[in-house]
Each structure stands twice: as C-alpha cells, then as structure tokens.
Structure 1
Amino acid sequence: MIPRQMPLSFGQRRLWIAEQAAPGSLAYTTPMLLRWRGAVRVDVMRSCLDAVVERHEVLRTTFGTERGVPTQVVGEFRGADVEVVDCRGDAIGVDQAIRAELERPFDLVHGPLFRARIILEADDSGVLLVNMHHIVTDGWSVGILQDELVALYPALAAGDVSPLDELPLQYADFAVWQRELLTQERRSALEGYWRKQLSEAPAYMSLPYDRDPSGVESRDGNTFSFSLDSAVVDGVRALAREENSTLFMVLLAAYKISLSRLTGETDIVVTTSVAGRSHAKLDYLIGFFVNNLVLRTDLSGEPSFRDAVRRVRQTVLDAQDHQDLPFDMLVAAIRPPRRPQQTPFLQTAFVHQPEPIAQYHLGDLAVRPIPAPVAAAPIDLVFSFFEDTGIELQINYRVELFKPETIRNLSEQFSATLSAAVRQDEGGENDRKDR
C-alpha cells in the first residue's frame, strides 16, 4: 500500500514550523492519563487502542516534505504503539514510568505520534497513559478518545465487534476541505477585519516578567492552582446573567484588569482557543482543529468592572464572528515585528477548560482521569478555569520567566478584582445605574 500524502491543515503547518525551530520540544505533547480500579484485561485494552488508531488515520500519520513543502503522510495500519509496564508493588516505579514517557520527544518524520503505556501498579489497579503530539490531536480529541474507549472496551471484552459507526471522513480530508472553504475573497475580508482590529496593537505584552523572555530558550513549565470563594462564585455568575455575558467573558475581564494593574498598560491583548469544528461531521474526528483567537480590549479611562465586562463581551463576540482566519495567516497579514523565543500576540492566553469527569467505567473497570505532570509551557503564561462545584483556576507558566511569588501575586490580584466587583454589586453602588 502506497502511503497517502496530503497537505497539512493550517494549524498543523504552524506546529510543524514550530517543530523545525525546536526539534523534539516537549511543549506540544498532549497526554491523557486514566487510573483504573478492577481486573484489567490487557489484551482487550491493547485491542481497543489498536481499534482507535486504525479508525483515525491521523494517529498513524507522519510528516515529511515534498519539494520543500510539508506534507502529512498517512501510513498503513500496523497496530498501535502500546507497551505494558509492570510496576506491581512499586509505587515509585509507576511515577517513573509516567515521567519517562512524558519526557520522550516525538519525531514528526518517523513517528509514531501516538504512544500508549499500560502501567500495572497492582493486580486490580493501574494507569493507562496515552501520549500524542499536538499536531495530531487537541483537547476535544482527548474527549473523543475517552468516549471511544468507553464504547470499545466492554464490546471487545465480550467478543463483539466494534460498536462505533464508520467515520464519514478523515482528518486529511478536512485539511483539503479547509483550503476550499477559505477562498481568496473570504480570506481577504477576514484579513481586512483583523488589520483594523489589531492596528497599532501591542504584538508583545509587557507581562510582569522576572526575566527578559528574549534571552530564554527553556520551555520548562509549572502550574499554580487556586479556587474562588463560593460567595464570589455566586456573585460572578449573577453578574454574568445581568450583563447578558458568559462566565468566560466576566473572568476574562477580571484577568485583563489584573494584567492592566500589574503592567500599567491599558491596551490588553490576550488570546484564547476556539474548537475550530465548524461542521457536525468533525465532532467525532480526532485531530488538530483548534485555532488561536486574538482578543484585544481597550481598558483606558478607568472603566468600572461592568463597563470592562461590556467591552470584553463585544471583543469576544466580534472575534468569534471572524474566527475562521488561521492564526498564522493573521500574523502574516499584520506583519508585526519579530522577537526571538516569542510569537506575536501569543504571550498569554485565557482558556475555558471543559468540566472534568470525576469517574466513569470501561466495562467492569472504574476509571478516573488524573492530571499529567507539567513538563513544558508552550507559551509564557496560560490562565485557565473550569467549573466544578465552584470555579477552579490554573496558571501554567514558563519557570525561567516567572518566579512562583509573581504567579501567586497574579492569582491574588485576579481574586481581589472579582471580590471587589461582587462587593460593589452587593452594596448597590452606582455601578448599576448606567445599565
């Protein structure tokens, strides 16, 4: 069988270029870790992973060049890269096995870009670690992978065939389709909007760095986690309803205000991620669809918190209406100055993570996702949140650029901003009158 050679999607091309600049970087690994309780059938688990890789061509894809142009090469299915690691009775060995896999770089040319490790920690417990390069997957795709394992494991354990419907298309087909949709006329219109929206915008935010980022090559990362008080959560949700805004918009406003206070700037540029799945046929496809959306907000004039939320709301809505321009094309259209070790408009991001799943089942196995150790930070500062019983937040940061106390100060500034906004609302101050 001759491997299929197809063009890269726009998002894949951006990651491919990043990989050429830093081969083997760990900044773009996308792991999934599941801890199970119960008597696992290793043969069935292996068969499930084989079925997923056979089903999704992108998971057996590598990346080469044809006359200097990058191409994705869809390889013949020869089984998933699955290794069984027996650490029964050795808790330290489990952690070491996880870290050893997460610290292994990927090779885009030779692959594989999907690796799985079935780590046995006892006769009735263990960890499934699936590690993928971001060029073949995204956060939505990890959820698809989990859903498919939920369907496959009990079926294959019972000796049945896969219950999954055949996919209507593959990721490489999307890469071709994406080019057809982005006609020259559509691209010109989108570029025109973004040139106007980002005219004279700061391409590089002056974040509260502890070290000049231009001289730092390390992408080593760490994560700081915190949560909001329940009273603040209630107040923030009420404010969002009253302003006809989403929770994302309100929290983003607080983040932008915090950055403004810490940096002294009022022209605040933060990116976010959008799913990039504009058609229902893409909802069940593993692949890299996500796009970076640039959100620029003017906070000059000392706006009240509600005014800031309104400005952010309009920023987000307008950006979403023009989200189809791939980020690398946006940068090419704006032509901002270049700096070493940094990408224009992409120093900090604000992301709404999906609500974590506490536990589910693979047949007789009780499974719960576990967080992966942080190995790298793809950009300088990522502020994310998810809703559980309350609002949980995380700050992922490059450890060579920020001291832990700087990140803690940012979290405190953010929490204080929201607390003050809620207190003002509860006190009935004049912030309500201009609605």
Structure 2
Amino acid sequence: MNARRTPPAYFLEELTEIVSRLLFTPPDPQRTRYPLAEPGVHRSAVAQDLARELQETFGVAIPVAALLATRSTLDLAGLVLDAVAAGRRTERADGGGSAEAGFADSASTPMSTVQDRIWFMHELAGSNLYTVPTFLELDGPLDVDALGRALTVLLARHSILRTLYRASAGLPRPVSLPPEPVVLMTVPSTEEDAVVTAAQSRVFRLADEIPVDFRLVARSSGQHLLVAAFHHIAVDSISLDLLFTELGVRYGEALRGTGPVDPLLEPAPRYSDHARAERDELATPVMQRRLRARAATVGAALADGGAALLARSGPAGPGDNPTARASRARPAVPAYTGDSVRTALPERVVTMIADLAARHRVTQAAVLVAPLAQLLASHGHTSTVLLGTPASGRTRSESLQTVGCFINVVPLIIRLDGARTVAELLARTQEALLDGLDHQDLPYEELVRALPCRRRTDPPPVTVLYSYEGGRPTYTFPGLSRAELTVARPSGTAKYDLSLYLRARGRRLEAEVEYDDERYDRSAASAILADYQRLLTGLGAASADGTGCR
C-alpha cells in the first residue's frame, strides 16, 4: 500500500465498528484484528459483505479484489478515502451526476438475487466459472445468412442477451444495449477443436461484453456446429430450450422472409419484471417470516452435523473408504477450480431405478438421491444430511416463457435416523425433496443471510450438490434433418466441493462427480463415484430380498 496521511479518528472508529460487526466481536479500539487477515476466515464472503457495508455507509464502490489485498483497518481506510475522493472528482467532472448510455433498462432496474450472487462470484473468481458452453449440431443445407438474421431477431427480442452489468456506487446495474445485427463468424472444421475449447474457457467481461458469443463451424458434407457461449447471469437450462426452440422458428421466418419488421415491437417477456417482482415480494412481512422459519430449520440441520460430511478432511472413521475423503482443508479464499470423473450406468440399472420408484411409490429422484444421502451420512458419521439441488425457480406462470436465470439452489434436509429399510430410506428422501420444492421460492442467497448465529468464517451451508439433467427437447429448423443441442460445463472449474450430475442418455444414465481440486484429488472423486454406484445398485438388491439398507 502507498503511504497515506493518518485518517481522522472518527472515521477510523466507524470503520472499526464495521470490522467488529463482520467478525461478530466487540469493537477493537487498537484495531489489532482485521477480518481479511484473520486465520480461518472465509475471506471471499467477508469481502463481499464488507463491500456492501462500505457502500451503504460511505456510498463508495470498492472492488472485491482490492478489499482482499488489504491487511489492516488502516489499509482499508486509505482505500475508502481514495474512493470517496475519486467519487467527488467524478461528480464535479459530470456536473453533479452521471448517466450511462443504455437502452430500455434504467438505473432503477433491479437485478434478481441469483444475478447478484453470480455477479459477485464472477467478479471474485475472474474466471469462466459461470460460462455456459452450448453446441448445436445442424445437419443439412444450412443458409448461413438466414441463421445470422434469426440470431439478430433473437437478441433484439430478448434484451437480457444484450445487457451489460456495470458497477454503480459499488453495486451492479444492468444496462441494456440497443439491438445490432449479429455478425456470425464462420470457421473451417480444422478450427473446431480450438473453437470448442475457447467456448468452454470463455471469460466474459460483464461490464463491457454482452453475455453471449456465437461461432459457426462449417463441417464437411453439409454439417455445421453452432457454438454459443452464454454467461449464467443471463440464462438457465429452461432458457436455453426457449432460445433454441425460438431460433428454429426465426430461422424458418428468415428463409421465407416473413420475420417481424421490427422485433422491438414484439418483445419477449422481460426478465427485469421478474427481478422487480421478486424484490417487492422479499420485502413483505410474510416472506420475511418464511425466510426466518426456513433459516431456523436449515440452521438446526447444520448444528446436527448436516454439513460435516464428505466436505470435511481428516482421518477416516469406522466403515469409511479412506480414499474418498477430502485430502486438503478448505482454503480461506477458494479458487473454484476443479475437474470431474464420470461413468455410464448400464440400462439394467436405469430399469431398476424405475422399478424401485414404482414399487415404493416415490419419484425416481428419491431413488437417485437416497444413495448419495447414505454416502454422505456414512462419511460424516451423522444421521442428518444437508445437500443442495437446483430447482427451476419459475414459480409464477409468466416466468415459464421468460429467458433469464431463475434457477435456485434448494437445501435438502434428509434425516436418516431410524431408517433401516429401503422403504424408510426412500420415504425420508422423498419427504426431503418435497419439502425442498415447497421452499424453492426462497432465494438461497437470502436464506444464507437469515441463518441464525452464522459467522463469516463458516463455510457455505451447501457444499455438496445433486443435479439431474433430463433429455433436451427436439428442435426444428426448416430444411435441416437434425438439430441436436449439447450443453457442457466450463472447463477446469467447480462451484461446490462436490457435485453429482446425472444425465439421461437414451436408455442409459451418465453419472459424473465434479470436485474442487483444492480439496480432493482424482482418486478420491473416483472412489466417491464408485461408492455411489455400489450403494445405488445395492438399493435394488436390498429391496428385492427384503434386507435393510446396505
């Protein structure tokens, strides 16, 4: 840090108060304790909270990265004073105010809670963590110009695909740009590998770039690959289905010359309307009571050991597979880097899953989650399991046709005490899934803030994720014989300590464990996946012969 004059005493006292609140400690007049230099502190979470506190108290925007570089309250004071001075210089230069060149959305347009979290995480990680690479295989005589015109209409109708996210007074603000023609870059098949790799490693600059990028690979024999990298702040899985279904329609219109004269006169439903409605609902007393009640339930599950599962490190206990344990402690500032291992479950296992669900009158999701709960409980030596699963978050009818990121992480609380038979295990899991869905309208971000007695040093409540990805719909592009979409995940990243992804592949099921490589190595992840597969097949055998859970 550069040398600075000593800040005023009253100013340092106010900063000390903020620091003490973040640490949940009494004020430290000597300023010997500082949250971003404390051992064991989850520094990224503290930095995000500190950024909000400084914005609310002093009206300054300080990047999270700059906060992470500070090591004392005096360092912090210098940053804040510099930011205040810079803000005043900007106001004088602008004649007392500033206006960004935008279109459609105003400075008062809110972001949704999930967009807030994604933006902060993106700024913190500075990586491809939230990139969504997609690959659309097109077979047949493709009219490239018509596809470009169809993409132009698509972006014109969906303003979220041409929205930037710029920090204003320390908080992100969406600014929609005017529609422009999409220039579709076409590359030869010899560059396909490079284009695919670039999409999976694409890092968006959200303040300067729209959250989507297209490339077209011209393969041989009349085949093409449309490579589209999206940022998660603008789309989720349902959004992708909506977009590529509409793209086929717009492509047909472009071929016939019957598309809309002005796409802006036929806009799609606006995501900003959802964000505003969500913020308004969160402010109601009913929603606040529901958040507090659910947070108390989640907090009790955490106190019962629900989070001390595979995510912990240390020596193996009785019955543990020591290979599957975390080999390293969670770092104070995670890098969110990772890798994955996968396997294909044979058709007989898929049949067993369906039969088991029908026999016990539960959903197939309950059958798939139950062995994961068993695995986590065994390794954590606990009867209470807490894991997360994504829910669509589209609880309003108008959201069903809206492009945007609605997805919400729902904590599942599975209590296994006394569940000695397969029927009891599946019933408990089904109950937890239904309970989670009943609360899917409670934003995960707000739930975490409402947790009782939560310290900034605590890890996030959800460190293990379960996700099932069904088959995608059929997309129709006139004149083409096939349009098949593959949605991948960004390369070299991991949002959670562990994630179990199950994907339908015709009559087979693909299982993949994504792991944080700061906590696990490949052998541990492979052991976890093997244990899961063993427990899953064991459910079918135990149910058939009437024995207990294995």
Flag whether TM exceeds 0.5 (same fold): yes
What is the distance in 1 between the residues matched to 2:199 and 2:359?
Answer: 47
Correspondence list, 1:85-100, <5 A: 85-88=186-189, 90=190, 93-100=191-198
Which is further off, 178-187 or 408-417?
178-187
Correspondence list, 1:16-415, <5 A: 16-22=119-125, 24-80=126-182, 82-88=183-189, 90=190, 93-122=191-220, 124-162=222-260, 166-167=266-267, 169-202=269-302, 204-207=307-310, 208-214=325-331, 217-301=334-418, 303-335=420-452, 336-339=454-457, 344-356=460-472, 360-365=475-480, 366-370=482-486, 372=488, 374-375=490-491, 376-387=493-504, 388-415=506-533
What is the distance in 2 between the residues matched to 1:429 and 1:149?
Answer: 52
Letter in 1 for 2:295: R
Whether the 8 Å contact between 1:152 and 1:162 is mirrored in structure 2 is no
What is the distance in 2 between the residues matched to 1:72 and 1:329?
Answer: 20
Whether the 8 Å contact between 1:59 and 1:114 is mirrored in structure 2 is yes
**For residues 360 and 53 of structure 1, do their structure 2 counterparts lie closer, same or farther at Cα, with a shift above 3 Å needed?**
closer
Work out whether 1:14 is the aligned partner of 2:112: no
Which is further off, 237-246 or 159-168?
159-168
Work out whether 1:419 is the aligned partner of 2:519: no
Letter in 2 for 1:347: T
1:277-334 deviations in Å (ceiling 9; x for gaps): 1122211211011111011222234633321221121122122222221111100000
Whether the 8 Å contact between 2:137 and 2:226 is mirrored in structure 1 is yes
Give the gaps of 5 or more residues in structure 1. Answer: none
**For residues 218 and 180 of structure 1, do their structure 2 counterparts lie closer, same or farther at Cα, with a shift above 3 Å needed?**
closer
Offset, 1:59:
0.5
Larger radius of gyration: 2
Which is further off, 320-329 or 188-197?
188-197
Which is further off, 9-18 or 366-375?
366-375
What is the distance in 1 between the residues matched to 2:121 and 2:256?
Answer: 44
What is the distance in 1 between the residues matched to 2:245 and 2:140?
Answer: 19
**For residues 430 and 420 of structure 1, do their structure 2 counterparts lie closer, same or farther at Cα, with a shift above 3 Å needed?**
closer
Of structures 1 and 2, the one scoring higher in RCO (CA 8 A, sep 6+) is 1
Offset, 1:83:
4.1
Whether the 8 Å contact between 1:382 and 1:395 is mirrored in structure 2 is yes
Which is further off, 138-147 or 418-427?
418-427
What is the distance in 1 between the residues matched to 2:283 and 2:403?
Answer: 25
What is the distance in 1 between the residues matched to 2:199 and 2:268?
Answer: 33
Q: Per residue, is there more strand in 1 or in 2?
A: 1
**For residues 324 and 186 of structure 1, do their structure 2 counterparts lie closer, same or farther at Cα, with a shift above 3 Å needed?**
farther
Offset, 1:168:
6.0
1:55-111 deviations in Å (ceiling 9; x for gaps): 10111111123333322112211234x4413224x2xx2101221233231111112
Letter in 2 for 1:77: P
Give the gaps of 5 or more residues in structure 2. Answer: 1-100, 311-324
Which is further off, 225-234 or 134-143?
225-234
Secondary structure of the corresponding residue to residue 181 of structure 2 = coil
Normalised to the residue count of structure 2, the TM-score between the two structures is 0.71
Whether the 8 Å contact between 1:268 and 1:297 is mirrored in structure 2 is yes
Secondary structure of the corresponding residue to residue 367 of structure 1 = strand
What is the distance in 1 between the residues matched to 2:540 and 2:378?
Answer: 18
Letter in 2 for 1:10: T
